[in-house]
């Protein structure tokens, strides 16, 4: 079951023998690992990589299982697992443990890439695409910033709201009810365009023509 009790995408019927391409990013926030890392590394400014590697390892194992499930539901598809960028600048704009946050992104990349190679050895049609190089110089605090820092919300019905049953990073309604939006630490419009360019280049490199 997915979030808010909807069907998972695999169970929704969108995958079949006619599916020729599945591209996805996944695993970065399994078990709230990303949220916890951002909270401690960026906002509080104190964190240790070892606090998050265990959860990352579990997430990568789960990702491997998911990729196998996708291939089973869509036996003729090519799967492309897109990696995550460094979300913050290599030269931080204020005192926070940015190096640890980016080191965790490197760790996740290496583990996901290794998992993909492991699956390819079983003849699964899956490839990994590293997003870190293309986003260099475009993280939070970079001059050409394409990833949001903290965005104050809510930014619509689907965002966090003070008083939500599921909770969220919000102050009480009596104090204004402001929340850290789901847009925080996610790509801006220019960042999603960059992701699309990475995807297009990856498909060209893989020789994918739509069939």
C-alpha dihedral sign at 192, 197, 200, 202: negative
The pLDDT-based confidence of 35 (bands split at 50, 70, 90) is confident
- Full DSSP string of the chain: --GGGPPPTGGGT--STT--EEEE---TTGGGHHHHHHIIIIII----THHHHHHHHHHHHHHHHHHHHHHHHSTT-EEEEE-PPP-B-SS-SSSS-HHHHHHHHHHHHHHHHHHHHHHHTTT--EEEE--TGGGTT-SBTSTT--B----EE--STTS--TT-TT--SB--GGGT--EE-TTTTSB-HHHHHHHHHHHHHHHHHHT----
Above 90 in pLDDT, residue 61? yes
- The model carries a pTM of 0.84
* Average pLDDT of the segment spanning 107-117: 97
Question: What is the pLDDT at residue 155?
Answer: 75
The pLDDT-based confidence of 188 (bands split at 50, 70, 90) is very high
Question: Is residue 87 within 8 Å of 185, Cβ to Cβ?
Answer: yes
Average pLDDT, the chain: 84
The pLDDT-based confidence of 191 (bands split at 50, 70, 90) is very high
CATH number (2.40.50.1070, 2.40.110.10, 3.40.980.10, 3.40.50.1110) of 21-142 reads 3.40.50.1110
Above 80 in pLDDT, residue 93? no
Question: Is residue 12 within 8 Å of 159, Cβ to Cβ?
Answer: no
């Amino acid at each position: 079951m997915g979030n808010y009790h909807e069907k998972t995408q695999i169970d929704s019927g969108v995958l079949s023998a006619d599916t020729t391409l599945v591209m996805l990013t996944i695993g970065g926030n399994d078990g709230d690992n990303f949220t916890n890392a951002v909270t401690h590394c960026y906002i509080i400014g104190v964190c240790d990589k070892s606090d998050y590697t265990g959860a990352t390892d579990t997430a990568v194992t789960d990702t491997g299982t998911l990729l196998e499930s996708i291939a089973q539901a869509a036996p003729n598809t090519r799967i492309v697992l897109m990696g995550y960028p460094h979300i913050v600048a290599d030269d931080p704009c204020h005192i926070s443990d940015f190096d640890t946050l980016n080191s965790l992104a490197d760790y996740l990349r290496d583990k996901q890439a290794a998992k993909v190679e492991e699956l390819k050895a079983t003849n699964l049609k899956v490839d990994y695409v590293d997003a870190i190089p293309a986003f260099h110089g475009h993280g939070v605090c970079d001059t050409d910033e394409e990833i949001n820092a903290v965005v104050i919300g809510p930014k619509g019905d689907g965002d966090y709201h003070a008083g939500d049953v599921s909770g969220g990073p919000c102050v009480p309604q009596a104090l204004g009810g402001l929340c850290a939006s789901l847009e925080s630490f996610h790509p801006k419009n220019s960042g999603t365009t960059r992701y699309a360019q990475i995807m297009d280049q990856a498909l060209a490199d893989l020789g994918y023509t739509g069939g």
